[in-house]
Amino acid sequence: MPAKRAPCRRRDRYTGRQHRVVWETVPDRIHILGASGSGTTSLGQALAERLGWPHFDTDTYFWLPTDPPFQKQRPVPDRLAMLAADLDAHSAWVLSGSLCGWGDVLIPRFDLVVFLWVPPDLRLARLREREQRRWGVELAPGGKMHDIHHAFMAWAAGYDAGDLTMRSRTLHEAWLARLPCPAVRLEGTESHEEHLTQVLAGLGVV
């Protein structure tokens, strides 16, 4: 088991663009979550690169490698063991994705959580662009990703109106309300670069 650490503390509440939090201990174990297409992975990668920390994404642990991908979930005990081992191997890291429910045992490891919300039209447009760039002709009728893509887009479109049984804003809001650590909300149409600037400013990193 990793050594216990004193909790990350703040003397003020960071709300995004309004004012900067004053940290007593700067957070160095950061989790970023939001809907698919909100930019959690992009922000996680950029933040980790800027800080010189490793970046992890929950999809790496959630899915077993298959061809086509995203077809079979890794058993919860296995994904938890893999993710915990990677996190505990480093004193500082950025973790992107969603682990609500299956990964709640990892919550005590978080010093700071960043929640991203993007308007549905923009988010789904980003997803369509990303999927086209990633899979190309495989999205066409008869391609190996055609049916998977349409099912994925339908699932992603349900985020804002979904209930607690799926990856939804309802689920994320309930999960955020229970966190013992500070949480930052970045909501709107800002770019990934603007989100990165906001998070770095909140951490006091120039």
- Sheet-wide strand order for 93-96: 55-57, 93-96, 29-34, 112-117, 183-187
Q: Is the peptide bond before 27 cis (omega within 30 degrees of 0)?
A: no
Are the CB atoms for 27 and 182 separated by under 8 Å? yes
Q: How far apart, in whole angstroms, are the C-alpha atoms of residue 158 and residue 166? A: 9
Band (pLDDT 50/70/90 cuts) for residue 7 is very low
Q: How many domains does the chain have?
A: 1
Task: Report the CATH number at residue 83.
Answer: 3.40.50.300
- Please provide the average confidence, as pLDDT, over all residues in the chain: 90
Answer whether residue 115 is part of any domain.
yes
Answer whether residue 18 is part of any domain.
no
pTM of the model: 0.88
Answer whether residue 206 is part of any domain.
no
* pLDDT higher than 60, residue 28: yes
> pLDDT tens digit string along 147-203?
999 999 999 999 999 999 999 999 999 999 999 999 999 999 999 999 999 999 888
pLDDT given for residue 73 in this prediction: 97
Are the CB atoms for 170 and 163 separated by under 8 Å? yes
> pLDDT tens digit string along 79-112?
999 999 999 999 999 999 999 999 999 999 999 9
Q: What is the dihedral of CA 25, 188, 149, 162, to 10 degrees?
A: 90
Answer whether residue 172 is part of any domain.
yes
Answer whether residue 5 is part of any domain.
no
DSSP 168-199: SHHHHHHHHHT-SS-EEEEESS--HHHHHHHH
Domain hosting 126: range is: 29-194
Answer whether residue 189 is part of any domain.
yes
Burial level of 137, CB count in 10 A (0-12/13-18/19+)? exposed
Answer whether residue 46 is part of any domain.
yes
Answer whether residue 202 is part of any domain.
no
Contact partners, residue 86, CB within 8 Å, separation at least 6: 54, 56
